[in-house]
Amino acid sequence: MSRLYPLGFLLLAALLIAVPLASGNEYELRLFMLFLIYAMIAVGLNVLVGLAGLVSLGQAGLFALGSYTGAIVATRLGFDMISACIVSALMAGLFGVLLAYPTVRVRGVYLAVVTIAFGLIVENVAIEWQSLTGGTMGITSIPAPNAFGYRLSGYAYYGVLALSLFLAVVATHNLKVSRYGRAMLAVAQSETAARALGLNPAAVRTLAFVVAAVTAGIAGTYYAFLNAYISPDIFTFTDSIRFLLMVILGGAASTFGPLVGAYILTYLPEYLQEFALWQKFAYGAMLLTVMFVLPRGIMGSLGSLATRLFPAPRTAGAGEGIAAEATLAPHAGEQRAELVARALTVRFGGLTALAEASLRVKPGEVHALIGPNGAGKSTFVNTISGFYQPTEGAFELDGVQLAGMRSHEIARVGLARTFQNTELFGELSVLENVMVGYQQRLTYGVAAAVLRSPAMRRQERDCRRAAIGLLAFVGLEDYAHEAARFLPFGLQRRLEIARALAAGPRLLLLDEPAAGLTTQEIDELEAMIRRIAGLGISVLLIEHHVELIMAVADTVTVLDYGQVIASDTPARVQDDPRVIEAYFGTSGHGAREETTS
């Protein structure tokens, strides 16, 4: 599929050049320029909706903000169109940050309501703040499009719009295939896993909101200059719905989809005008039909079809990968990590899930944490990885105090984890899942991503090669381009381990990695844990599978009712009467048998 993108960009450029040559009159050209402006909004909104998975129904508010800002600085301060665009981009970007803030607490339908409220507020401010906005009369006599003191002719202005749209499509596409696009997709699919890999969801979502806001703001200023007149009734809630529909109809997350959606939703109402009475009905019915037949939008569905017809090889290119040992050793080999938890207490209301639990994972060892159901193992894991905050107590990794840190900050210190119920990014490929794990080691910025700078390409290449090597390490190189959700369960568990390793941890926390695996898969897991430990990575293993623990653990700590009742070598622990008592309620049985969870 990626081979088709250059062709798509070429086709888009050819179309943008051909249209003004082919358009018969000024009205046609003007309508096409309106489409270019709407397409710009849709392309930016696609980053928010398609990549970050957030729904905004307030885009008309940002469009209005850009329009009014541009119109005000142009009419009152004499700014030319380019300077007006810069001011409105900054203004809209600022509001993008403000709009992103509620996502810390609300998502889905609640976020949609917040964005609707924003759109309504902008509309009302535009009506009520008469001295600035002209109230319902709006702002008239906006100067003709101009740049650097020169007035732009109709065709020159078309050129500016076409170039801006083309650059917006290229920039958002580059963002999509960079670490930022991957981060957005990852956060949208599993925020928990993304945090555990060191991604800050708030920052990722803010970037998506800012991109969507800035493009809408610039489009707004272009609109004001095209129309020479703006008023509040041009930016209604219905427009916000239309912008969102452009993205969904064209194909959310696809590079060219929003253009197709914007084209249809700009021209369709025009074509349907002759059916006066039936116009709205026909419009709605057509949309419904398309969405029913093509649920992933037009370009999204075409993309899926192309992938089915011309499937890419599932496996990664032979010899492309960097050996996992080379990727992991510099981070783990030199300094083996020590985790120390001191008197950790976690209470949920009246229930004490952990009671002054202390534990020390010695540098380079495999340390197993066991205990009957409800003993507090998951609570311990979730606490030291930052998903729960301890009520009391402290814990540190190589002397760095972790208590009070958030999960993504702890991940960045060098602790990576897997999950009891696997938390993969299901829609991403197996390779991309591991590349998200590698994310923290990439250092290029947003500008480098948008421009596809040499540094960005080099780092991406290294990331890809390291990810392929890690897939080979866990035996998944043959599934590199398969969507993660299609992997059998046993392989999903392995993928989670590869992804966690990609983060370059010094301590790897495996939460019941053997649950649901076959005997053969457990044997392979055992070998894998040994190899990981062999690289100098300390491992904390939460497990019920006694045989596995006996085989790989250097130390076993036993929890019961939130308290540590034993911590010793596997052999000593399994003969400890308190442990036998905890597991069987009597000291008469041996604890050698495998327990079940």
Q: Which residues bind ligand ATP (CB under 6 A)?
A: 348, 351, 353, 371, 373-379, 597
**Between residues 193 and 346, which has the closer beta carbon with respect to ligand ATP?**
346
**Between residues 172 and 378, which has the closer beta carbon with respect to ligand ATP?**
378
Rounded to the nearest whole angstrom, what is the least distance from the CB of residue 576 to ligand ATP in the complex?
Answer: 18
Rounded to the nearest whole angstrom, what is the least distance from the CB of residue 514 to ligand ATP in the complex?
Answer: 13
Residue 358 CA to residue 109 CA, distance in Å, equals 42
Rounded to the nearest whole angstrom, what is the least distance from the CB of residue 409 to ligand ATP in the complex?
Answer: 21
Rounded to the nearest whole angstrom, what is the least distance from the CB of residue 379 to ligand ATP in the complex?
Answer: 3
**Amino acid (one-letter) located at 286:** M
**Token pair of 537 as six digits:** 């990575």
User: Checking phi first, is residue 404 left (phi over 0); if not, alpha (psi -120 to 50) or beta?
Assistant: left
Residue 385 CA to residue 379 CA, distance in Å, equals 10
Residue 336 CA to residue 363 CA, distance in Å, equals 5
Q: Are 54 and 191 spatial neighbours (Cβ–Cβ below 8 Å)?
A: no
* 538-542/507-511 β-pairing: parallel
Residue 41 CA to residue 43 CA, distance in Å, equals 6
**Token pair of 474 as six digits:** 């866990």
User: Checking phi first, is residue 301 left (phi over 0); if not, alpha (psi -120 to 50) or beta?
Assistant: alpha
Nearest alpha-carbon partner for 265 in 284, 252, 278, 281? 284
H-helix or E-strand spanning residue 414:
none
DSSP 553: -
489-502 and 430-438 helices, crossing angle to 10°? 30
Buried b vs exposed e over 67-81: b needs ≥16 C-beta within 10 Å?
A: bbbbbbbbbeeebbb
Query: 288 Cβ partners below 8 Å, 6+ apart?
Result: none
Rounded to the nearest whole angstrom, what is the least distance from the CB of residue 346 to ligand ATP in the complex?
Answer: 8
**Amino acid (one-letter) located at 269:** P
**Between residues 155 and 348, which has the closer beta carbon with respect to ligand ATP?**
348
CA dihedral 240, 242, 244, 245 (to 10 degrees): 160
Q: How far is CA 35 from CA 20, 51, 158, 318, 508, in A?
A: 13, 23, 11, 45, 51
Q: Are 532 and 539 spatial neighbours (Cβ–Cβ below 8 Å)?
A: yes
Tokens 């002397």 locate to: 399
Rounded to the nearest whole angstrom, what is the least distance from the CB of residue 248 to ligand ATP in the complex?
Answer: 35
Query: 458 Cβ partners below 8 Å, 6+ apart?
Result: none
Residue 51 CA to residue 558 CA, distance in Å, equals 43
